[in-house]
A and B are shown apart, each in its own frame.
Chain A
C-alpha cells in the first residue's frame, strides 16, 4: 500500500476505521518501506506474518516495537521520501547522541498535533503562552514546531512565545499588553475573528468570549521560572509542562513537580497539565489535570515488560513505555522508549521518568 501523503492523512484520521485496522495497515507499509524495521522484524524469533493477521483476533500489540535508539543509530525515513520536509532532533542529555526524526510530510505532523490537542482542549478558548528557554532558538525542536503551529492557528494573535530574556518574576501575565484579561482580549483583531467565526457558524454577532491562559513550558524551564519568581497567572489559567525532566538538574517525580508548580503559581494542582511527546513522535498524549495521560485515537501507548519487550504488561505493573504512533507512518510508527510507565485500568497511563536498566542486574531486594 503505497499511497500519497494526502491519502495517508485521510486514512489515519478517518474516525470510521478502527485503530486495529490502521495499525496493521501501517505495519505492512513499514515492513515494505522501512529497511531497518524490516531487518529487525526478520531477526526476531517470532513476529506476526508480513500481511498481518488473517483475522481480527490478533491485537496490534503483537506488532514488534523497535528500540527508540533506532532514531539515533540510523537515518529513519521511508525509502520513498528523498527529501524530508523537516528534521526534528532531540535535545539529548550530556554525552548522548541526538535522535533524528525526518518528517516526510510536515502537514501530517501539524495535523496530528492540532487534531490531538483539539481532542482535549478547545483551541478557541485558550490563549497559548510558551516559555521554552533552551528550545526557542532550536529550529529542529519538535516541541517548538508543535507549539508554534498551535500559536499560528490562534487567529486572535494573542498566543505567543515569551521571550527567554524577559524577566517574568512578579509580572502579571494577564495584563501584559496584547495578552489575555478580558479587556486585553478585546483587541480589534480578536473581535474581528470572533465575529467572523460567529457569523459563519450561526449568523449571530455574539459577545466576545473570554479566553483562558495556557502556559506551556518544559518541566525544568518552568521550575527555573518559579525559582526566579513566578509570574502572576489568572486564577483559571492552565500550566502545561511538556516533560524534559531528564535533561537538566535532578530528576523529580511528576507529583512533586505538579505540586511545586501549583504552589508557585497559586493554582490548584488540577490546573497543572502535561504533554507527553518527543522528537520521535508525530503525536502527543495529554494529561488534562487528572495525573495521567490519554491518547488521540491514532496513538496507542502500552507498557512493556523490560525483560521481554514483546509482552504487554497488565495495568498497575511498571515497565517500559511502548509507542504506536500511526502518524509516524512515513518514519517509524512502532517503537519502545526508555521511559518508565504504568498503564491504569481506565486506559490512561503515567510516566515515571527514565527506566534504569541496571536495576534488573545484580541483586535487588525490591525487584525480588
Chain B
C-alpha cells in the first residue's frame, strides 16, 4: 500500500503535524464534527472541548519521540520494529474502538501509525465524527498507513489484519475473533489485545485531608465526573482513611462548581435513581454528584454511574486492587510528583494490579499511558505468538 514508506524517524513529526492541523480546524473539519458530536448528544460540548485541550497538550513531537526512544533499547519490545522501519513489511492493525478519542481510542490510532502499521478501524457509535475527522486529516500526511475505517464492521474492507486491538474481557476474545474472521477482517493467526480495565481507584491517606481540601475535592470531582465517569481512567472507587460522611460536604461543593460549568447530559439515569432509592431506603450513606451518586456501600463497586467511597487503610486498598484485578486501570494518589514513589513504598505493596499515578492527571494522561498496564506500541512491535 505504501509507495513511499515513512521511516520511524519521520513518523512522530508527521503524526503531530496531522493532529495539530486537525486541532487547527484544517478544512473546517473539526468545527463541523464537534458540532455534530454535541448536537447529536454523543458527548457534551464541554467534554469535547476538554478533550481537545488534553490532546493538544499530550500529543507533541517530544512526547511521541520520547515514547519511541523509551522502547528503542528494548529488543523484545521492538522485534517487529526493524521490519517496519524500511517499509518492507507493514502489518495491518484493526482497532475496534468502543469509546471516545482521548482515552484508549486516540492512543490506538497514534500507536498504530507510530509503529509503522497500516490502520484499519471500526469507529465507535459513540464517537463517529471526531475520530473520522482526525483520520481524514492524518491520511493526508500518512496516506500509506491509513487503510480504512467505518462505524459498521460490515462496511470495513476485508483487510485480513495481523493484530487486533479492542476493549472487552479476555473471555470475549473468542466471540470477537469469530465475528471478525467471518467478515474477513483479520487473518486466522491474528493476535488480539483485549482491554479489560473498566475503572480506576484512588487511595487517600489521612494526611491528604490535612492540606488543601478544596484542591483535593476539585481533583477528585474532576476524576469522577469528567466524561460522565465512563472511561476506564474515571475514578469509581475511593479508599480513604476518612469516611465518606466526613468529606461529603467538600465533595458536594466541588461537584456543584463542576456541574455549573460542565452540566451532565442526563440528570440521573433510571438505574442511578433505582440504586439511590435502595440506598436511601436501607439508611446507607448516599450523595448526589452530578448525574452520578456516591455511596459507602462496598457491594456497588464498579457499577455504572455509582462511585464507592470506603473507609480503609493502604492494606485495604491493596487488597481491593487485587480483588478487582484486571478490571482496574489506575490507582491514583494525591501528592506532589516527587512524593509518589515514597507513598507507594509506604502504603501500597508492590503488586501488578497497582499502577500508581497522580490524581490530578486522571483525565489528562500522557500519550504513552498504558491501558491495562500494557504499552500498546511495544505490543504492536512485538513478534508475539500469532495465536495469542
Residues of chain A having any CB pair with chain B under 8 Å: 36-37, 39-40, 42-45, 66-67, 69-70, 72-74, 95, 305-311, 356-368
Contact = CB atoms under 8 A, between A and B. Distances in A.
Contacts of B274: 44, 308-310
Given A361-B230, A361-B304, A40 B125 contact: no
A357 B304 contact: yes
Interface of B: 96-99, 103-104, 124-126, 166-169, 172, 175-176, 195, 197-199, 230-232, 234, 236, 269-271, 273-278, 280-282, 284, 299, 302-304, 323, 327, 329
Contact of A361 (B125, B269, B303): B303
The 4 A-B pairs of least Cβ separation, nearest first, read A363-B99, A43-B277, A358-B302, A39-B281
A305 B125 CA distance: 20
Contact of B167 (A42, A67, A363): A363
A350 B303 CA distance: 23
Contacts of B99: 362-363
Nearest to A306: B271
What secondary structure prevails in chain A residues at the interface with B?
mixed
A284 B169 CA distance: 32
Contacts of B172: 365-366
22 contacts: A36-B281, A37-B281, A40-B278, A42-B281, A43-B280, A45-B273, A66-B278, A67-B278, A70-B278, A73-B282, A307-B269, A311-B270, A360-B304, A361-B302, A361-B303, A363-B98, A363-B104, A363-B124, A365-B98, A365-B172, A365-B176, A366-B172
Contacts of B327: 358
Contacts of A310: 270, 274
B273 A362 contact: no
B310 to A, nearest CB: 13
Contacts of B278: 40, 43, 66-67, 69-70
A252 B327 CA distance: 20
A142 to B, nearest CB: 21
**Which label, helix, strand, loop or mixed, suits the secondary structure of the B interface?**
mixed
A36 B125 CA distance: 41
B154 to A, nearest CB: 15
B98 A364 contact: yes
A364 B176 CA distance: 11
Given A308-B269, A364-B98, A43 B281 contact: yes
Nearest to B300: A357
B281 A363 contact: no
Max chain A Cβ within 10 angstroms of own Cβ: one of B168, B232, B236: B168
Given A43-B280, A308-B271, A361-B304, A366 B175 contact: yes
Nearest to A43: B277
A39 B283 CA distance: 10
Contacts of B169: 356, 359, 364
B275 A67 contact: yes
A93 to B, nearest CB: 12
Contact of B124 (A360, A362, A368): A368
Given A358-B199, A364-B167, A69 B299 contact: yes
Contacts of B98: 363-365, 367-368
A305 to B, nearest CB: 8
Contact of B280 (A37, A39, A365): A39
Contacts of A356: 169
Q: Most chain-A Cβ atoms within 10 A of its Cβ — which of B124, B274, B303?
A: B274
A40 B278 CA distance: 5
Contacts of B230: 361-363
Nearest to A368: B98
B270 A366 contact: no
